[in-house]
């Protein structure tokens, strides 16, 4: 029988097991895969699922700490009905280690599979998961595709290497860094080459992500390796300008040598460090990172850095994010970028146990801020006093005032700056602020922030995805359900057309979401109702921009917030 290259529905032996005659079978570049069918929890409509597809060779042995290699082909029909293992990490709740190094798998969910004579026309949305570059996966336990597939788009999720295994950098040609980001690039290449077989349009691909996934999306706009692999982008609560999203080259090397000392090798020779780390158990590498986060000499979390020592064609980040943005060296495509209005609730587990100390810290805040704002700032003390007066001279509970500082400094400022600067280069940039506070704001509950107003970091996720692990149930007729319907429609509209509100729509309250201009910063407020407003977080981000201009006169219009972690300061 001739295989169409799209779908085959007859019995085949699948790696030793017999497939159902109704299972979808697709022929991709690497070989045949057998998927399954699922039903949407919202619409009860059937969609096709292909999971656990390898997009890269296992990054083990000599391939550990190397750029990813394309997956090998296979014979027969590969089972793609279950997800592959997550990459090595620590469960933040149970504090237990799990995952496997052979983890570079991709999942595809499609509302339809085309026949041989059909033309692929379905928009594709590729999700990049968050987790601070040390946690997470593309699994359906958190990122169930039901709601978006209901909007007739193809949804793709995948894993990428995390922590030291994904972001170790010795700043040399052997380990230049950014392998986790290069995993993402290879996944996008896989999508471009194979998505037509799943009914997706390779000429209409949107990448989107949250937190570290959002900053990853922004990095792909900046990276020469990612050009021509996608056509639109959405960053939710993250930017490459956020302080947690970038690691300076010096800090990355310092971390590598500290890790070598953990394994008994105290040396200045990077090749000796590489040798011992390549032979180390992955669990010890992962556990060390969680310990190293408390070491001030390390700096930022493990994550993207400059990798200019990579061989030609494998340089992911040739310059700092702020330099690339200011030079206009980024992909100029339609872009949505936004925040949740109380991102800092995420820090509640850290703030609450020390609430009795907060008042005392405020009293010496002007001494503490220079550490966070960068030691090189002239008159850093005066700058800190202005921040103290801005945030701590009101009647709101002290914990909420700290949450406001964390929200603005670690999230909103970088997002605002990114949107403002990139909008000056004639590509449409749409801004939003998610402030809906409903029963599905489960990440606020996990952070212990129940009772605090607003939307915590990651609280938008259950409105875009079916979060199976937390048993989130959006009941029809509720404000939570309506918010989910609106968000998925806005995101899908953007993926299909490049505009989130291409025409008046009663479901979207006929709102017209306008892009940012040089003279105006419109932003969509996503709350119980949808409405347009100006700026982010009541103008706080604009206040910070003026503050930096006042105290850092030689800085660019967007101060590189990550410079606080420069160990040479």
- What tokens does 545 get? 């921009």
Angstrom distance (rounded) from CA 179 to CA 181: 5
Distances (CA, A) of 12 to 9, 19, 20, 492: 9, 6, 8, 36
**How far is C-alpha 417 from the chain's CA centre?**
18
Angstrom distance (rounded) from CA 196 to CA 124: 10
Angstrom distance (rounded) from CA 187 to CA 168: 20
Q: Which of 183, 186, 239 is nearest to 212 (CA)?
A: 239
Q: Which of 407, 411, 431, 435 is nearest to 520 (CA)?
A: 431
Angstrom distance (rounded) from CA 499 to CA 514: 9
Backbone angles phi, psi at 47, to 5 degrees: -135, 165
Backbone angles phi, psi at 27, to 5 degrees: -105, 105
Evaluate whether 490 touches 513 at the Cβ level (below 8 Å).
yes
Q: Which of 495, 467, 100 is nearest to 335 (CA)?
A: 495
Angstrom distance (rounded) from CA 111 to CA 47: 5
- In the DSSP assignment, the letter for residue 39 is E
The neighbouring-strand residues paired with 37 are 48
Other Cβ atoms within 10 Å of 428 Cβ, number: 18
Angstrom distance (rounded) from CA 42 to CA 44: 6
Helix (H, G, I), strand (E, B), or coil: what is residue 178?
coil
Q: Which of 39, 38, 8 is nearest to 115 (CA)?
A: 8
Backbone angles phi, psi at 512, to 5 degrees: -115, 105
Helix (H, G, I), strand (E, B), or coil: what is residue 114?
coil
Please give the helix or strand (H or E) that residue 78 lies within, else none.
Answer: strand 77-79
Angstrom distance (rounded) from CA 433 to CA 418: 15
Q: Which of 438, 430, 444, 240 is nearest to 343 (CA)?
A: 444
Angstrom distance (rounded) from CA 315 to CA 399: 43
List active site positions.
Answer: 211, 343, 457
Angstrom distance (rounded) from CA 456 to CA 526: 14
- What tokens does 152 get? 């007739």
- Unique residue bearing structure tokens 């997800």: 83
Angstrom distance (rounded) from CA 444 to CA 535: 24
Angstrom distance (rounded) from CA 456 to CA 554: 34
Angle 158-442-131 (CA atoms, 0-180°, nearest 5)? 35
């Amino acid at each position: 029988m001739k295989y169409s290259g799209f779908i085959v529905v007859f019995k085949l032996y699948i790696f030793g097991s017999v497939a159902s005659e109704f299972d979808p079978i697709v022929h991709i570049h690497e070989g045949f895969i057998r998927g399954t069918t699922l039903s949407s929890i919202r619409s009860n409509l059937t969609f096709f699922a292909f999971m656990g597809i390898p997009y890269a060779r296992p990054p083990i042995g000599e391939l550990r700490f190397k750029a990813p290699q394309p997956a090998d082909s296979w014979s027969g029909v590969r089972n793609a009905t279950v997800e592959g293992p997550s990459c090595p990490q620590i469960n933040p709740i149970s504090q237990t280690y799990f995952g496997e190094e052979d983890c570079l798998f991709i999942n595809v969910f499609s509302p339809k599979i085309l026949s041989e004579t059909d033309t692929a026309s379905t928009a594709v949305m590729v999700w990049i998961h968050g987790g601070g570059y040390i946690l997470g996966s593309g699994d359906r336990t958190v990122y169930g595709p039901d709601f978006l597939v209901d909007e007739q788009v193809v949804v793709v999720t995948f894993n990428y290497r995390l922590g030291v295994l994904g972001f170790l950098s010795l700043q040399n040609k052997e380990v230049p860094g950014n392998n986790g980001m290069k995993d993402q690039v290879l996944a996008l290449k896989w999508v471009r080459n194979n998505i037509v077989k799943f009914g997706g349009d390779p000429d209409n691909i949107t990448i989107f992500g949250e937190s570290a996934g959002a900053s990853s999306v922004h990095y792909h706009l900046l990276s020469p390796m990612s050009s021509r692999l996608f056509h639109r982008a959405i960053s939710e609560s993250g930017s490459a300008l956020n302080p947690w999203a970038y690691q300076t080259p010096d800090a990355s090397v310092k971390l590598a040598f500290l890790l070598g000392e953990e394994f008994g090798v105290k040396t200045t020779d990077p090749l000796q460090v590489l040798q011992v780390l390549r032979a180390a158990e992955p669990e010890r590498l992962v556990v060390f990172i969680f310990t190293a986060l408390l070491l001030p000499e390390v700096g930022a979390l493990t994550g993207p850095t400059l990798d200019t020592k990579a061989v030609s064609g494998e340089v992911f980040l040739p310059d700092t994010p702020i330099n690339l943005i200011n030079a206009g060296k980024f992909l100029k495509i339609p872009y949505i970028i936004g925040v949740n209005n109380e991102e800092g609730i995420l820090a509640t587990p850290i703030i609450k146990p020390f609430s009795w100390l907060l008042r005392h810290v405020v009293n010496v805040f002007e001494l503490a801020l220079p550490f966070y704002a960068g030691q090189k700032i002239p008159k850093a003390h005066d700058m800190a006093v202005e921040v103290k007066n801005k945030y701590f001279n009101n009647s709101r509970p002290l914990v909420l005032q700290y949450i406001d500082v964390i929200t603005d400094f670690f999230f909103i400022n970088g997002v605002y700056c990114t949107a403002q600067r990139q909008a000056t280069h004639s590509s449409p940039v749409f801004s939003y602020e998610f402030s809906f506070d409903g029963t599905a704001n489960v990440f606020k509950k996990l952070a212990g922030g129940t009772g605090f107003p607003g939307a915590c970091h990651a609280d938008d996720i259950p409105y875009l995805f079916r979060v199976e692990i937390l048993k989130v149930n959006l009941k029809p007729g509720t404000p939570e359900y309506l918010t989910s319907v609106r968000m998925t429609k806005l995101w899908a509209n953007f993926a299909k057309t490049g505009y989130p509100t291409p025409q008046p729509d009663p479901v979207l309250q006929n709102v017209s979401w306008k892009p940012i201009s040089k003279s105006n910063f419109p932003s969509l407020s996503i709350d119980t109702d949808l409405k347009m407003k100006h700026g982010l977080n009541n103008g706080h981000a604009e206040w910070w921009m003026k503050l930096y201009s006042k105290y850092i006169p030689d800085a660019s219009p967007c101060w590189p917030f990550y410079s606080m972690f420069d160990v040479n300061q």
